Amino acid sequence: MIWLWMFIWLVTPVQAGVPLVLKIDKEFESVRIQCPDGISETQRVSNGQVTFDVLPKGCTVSVTKKIGTVNSNGTWSCTERGCTLDIPPHKPVENADGRVNLIFLDSGKATTIELSCSNYRQRTKIEDHTAVFNGAPKGDCTVYAKGGTTAKSQPLQWGTYVCTISGPTLVCQTYKS
């Protein structure tokens, strides 16, 4: 009798090695299956399909796909069309020769900003997520965050930038209004 029960157990579909195979559009990267009995598993899509070794009973299938790229700290809004960085309310800024405008996403991490260029160095406070420098020479400048934390940027030039502090690095990207 024991052998009969073992035989029945071995020939049930899941136990006999018949997997659950889902064919998935190639735009999706992974599939997650969640079942009422507590089973939850995620698989990456490979060759347009995923395979699960579960016996599905009322399971929910969820898919993920790449919709955009984020490349700095901050708050991002992501939709089907991609991801964009949310800019906090800040003082009005305007580009001009000799001017460097910095809009900070996380201004609470530093209180003072220094702009250092050849034969030029100026400090200013961050107010309303904004720091503005006038009279900067043409060419590469480096920004240093001070007060609260210290961080250094890659070289930048005249213009408006959105900045965030990531460890010892001040990450600044050209602002596109």
Instruction: Provide the whole-model pTM.
Output: 0.59
The CATH number that applies at residue 154 is: 2.60.40
- Considering its fold, how many domains does the chain have in total? 2
Q: Of 30, 64, 98, which marks where a domain is finished?
A: 64
What lies within 8 Å, CB to CB, of 146 at 6+ separation is 110, 111, 112, 113, 114, 123
Residue range 117-176, pLDDT digits in tens:
999 999 999 999 999 999 999 999 999 998 878 889 999 999 999 998 888 999 999 987
The reply to whether 112 and 139 lie within a common domain is yes
Name the maximum alpha-carbon separation found in the chain: 93
The reply to whether 92 and 32 lie within a common domain is no
Q: Which domain holds residue 36?
A: 2-64
Q: Which residues of 2-31 are buried (b: 16+ CB within 10 A; e: fewer)?
A: eeeeeeeeeeeeeeeeeebebebeeebeeb
Q: Of 15, 46, 64, which marks where a domain is finished?
A: 64
Q: Is residue 109 classed as helix, strand or coil in its secondary structure?
A: helix
